[in-house]
Amino acid sequence: MIDLENIRKTYQSAGRAVHALADVSLSIHEGEVFGIIGRSGAGKSTLIRLLNLLERPSEGRVRVDGEDITAYTDAQLREYRRTVGMIFQHFNLLRSRTVLDNVCFPLRLSGMPRAERLARAREVLDLVGLADHAHKYPGQLSGGQQQRVGIARALASRPRILLCDEATSALDPETTQSILRLLQDINLRLGLTIVLITHSMDVIRAVCDRVAVIERGHIVETGPVLDVFLHPGHDATRALLSESGLDGGEGWRTLAEGVSGRLVKLSFRGEATGRPLLSRLSRDLSLDLSILQGSVGRIKDTPYGQLIVAIEGSDEHLQALAPVLEQAGVHCEVLRS
């Protein structure tokens, strides 16, 4: 649905060129939740703002449904932006307007008749669970409720694309999870394409189908979230996973010094996560297994697990290990033979 082709974005600062994005190419599929993750200053905010041309690329093209939107006239761009909603880190609500008025505001700007915009605003407020708060002011709401107003406002014009610019960064963990559940529900119910940027791997794990990792203006890794989490291919991705605690860190290395045998990393996904694999390996292949580190969780709706295990046994039984793991649907990476 969305294609970024060889995007470069350069700013002038204090008389010198600052390269915010360098040769970025990226494809986002219709109906998916696509995450862009990176540290502060990596270029992710610039990247997401290219999708509605709040930022224009210095070089390259932005295509949506095959059309080059960077070539649009002002009138065409205004029409296109009506199909793109955006929610922000700090909500950006009009403090002197009621919740209902905030949601109506973009509809009034588009020329929708008053009765229609009131009906539509009440419809989306009900969708985000705020139907009873229509006549309150933003200052009377919690942070999570204010963000729900922002989501309702973004949905009011029936967009096809929803852009989320660090939409949960200002919220506490519990509220963050409720907003992420709401975004996932909106994605499923409305078929929206959602693009979100974040610095949190927890956010990516909870709602995204695919992810791109950005580092110093470059896309260094992209793919399905499960693949990127379980088999990161770039140092930046590994660092983000380690900082979030989702990979368990490097504590197993100290333990590994005190045990003998083959050292492997076992990665499980889907139904394989809940099967009694280790007891089967120990029983059927006469192997001694020592778990040095492990984690089990869910990535969106899919269970996953990752274990670092020291294995001791005869050469014959160790040779039989690989086909058993392959048949069980478990990926095995040998860390020490």
Query: What is the three-class DSSP state of 61?
Result: strand
Tokens 């990752």: give the residue.
306
pLDDT score recorded for residue 65: 95
Cβ proximity of 313 and 286 under 8 Å: yes
Q: How would residue 249 be classed by pLDDT, with cut points 50, 70 and 90?
A: low
Q: CA dist 232 to 2, 43, 57, 229, 272, Å?
A: 24, 20, 29, 6, 20
Whether the per-residue pLDDT at 3 is higher than 80: the answer is: yes
Task: For residue range 4-56, list pLDDT tens digits in order.
Answer: 999 999 988 888 888 999 999 999 999 999 999 999 889 999 999 999 999 99
- Looking at residue 12, its pLDDT comes to 84
143-155 and 99-109 helices cross at what angle (nearest 10)? 20
Higher pLDDT, 258 or 222: 222
**Does 247 have pLDDT greater than 70?**
no
List the domains of the chain with CATH numbers.
2-244 (3.40.50.300), 252-336 (3.30.70.260)
In this prediction, residue 252 has a pLDDT band, given cuts at 50, 70 and 90, of confident
**pLDDT, tens digit (0-9, with 9 covering 90-100), for 168-221:** 988 999 999 999 999 999 999 999 999 999 999 999 999 999 999 999 999 999
Residues 114-119, mean pLDDT to the nearest whole number: 96
